[in-house]
Structure 1
């Protein structure tokens, strides 16, 4: 049986990879580059910080790293909403990313709440 933590880690890695693929299709103008770069950082950082959380030694450290993961996911969500408003990126990919980031935010927030 697989460990749920690793399932979530895989899901965050898949989200980060989907962000990379999505950003490749953004226009190369100033707006596309700015929001694309921001989205690449926050989307990737959420997976990296969750990975670090799994290696912590204390509950406090875990909550701290998971909270950073949550913050980065929320930043990604706002970025995707902005890109939605200005109609940047492939609509179906963007909508799928928005759906996934909402689910990931709920999952990570619940984990943090249950660890406190």
Structure 2
């Protein structure tokens, strides 16, 4: 797989994760707690996708590193909020596990990309 194909695939994966999280949130019972967690979760997962796209068109290595740092932070936060939904019993593990797995995989990929960028 070429670098440009990989970049496009990761764009699709981050966007799809955002869509899947939104759809999951729409299915859960709304309480004060789930609304707070849901807002934070949707914000972090959509910020992950949006900032990855922004990193892909960065004008400099410094800008790329900055955007990727945001992506890493927001991907980790996404994972945290998914864990909170599961641990609080608001969603079944079977519903959220694939999303958590994907968020973790994306986090690992973008963390490695950011680390590579900092050493260049």
> 1:46 touches 1:68 (CA, 8 Å); kept in 2?
yes
Counterpart pick for 2:6 among 1, 4, 7:
4
1:104 maps onto 2:106 in alignment: yes
- The count of aligned residue pairs is 116
> 1:25 touches 1:90 (CA, 8 Å); kept in 2?
no
Counterpart pick for 2:46 among 41, 44, 47:
44
1:85 maps onto 2:87 in alignment: yes
**2:31 counterpart residue number:** 29
TM-score of the superposed pair, with normalisation by structure 2 = 0.91
In 1, the alpha carbon distance for the partners of 2:14 and 2:95 equals 16
TM-score of the superposed pair, with normalisation by structure 1 = 0.94
RMSD: 1.2
Bigger shift: residues 80-89 or 56-65? 80-89
In 2, the alpha carbon distance for the partners of 1:15 and 1:78 equals 14
In 2, the alpha carbon distance for the partners of 1:18 and 1:93 equals 11
Counterpart pick for 1:73 among 72, 75, 83:
75
> 1:59 touches 1:115 (CA, 8 Å); kept in 2?
yes
Residues 79-107 of structure 1 show CA distances to partners (whole Å, capped at 9, x for unaligned) of 11111111112432211111111101100
In 2, the alpha carbon distance for the partners of 1:53 and 1:102 equals 19
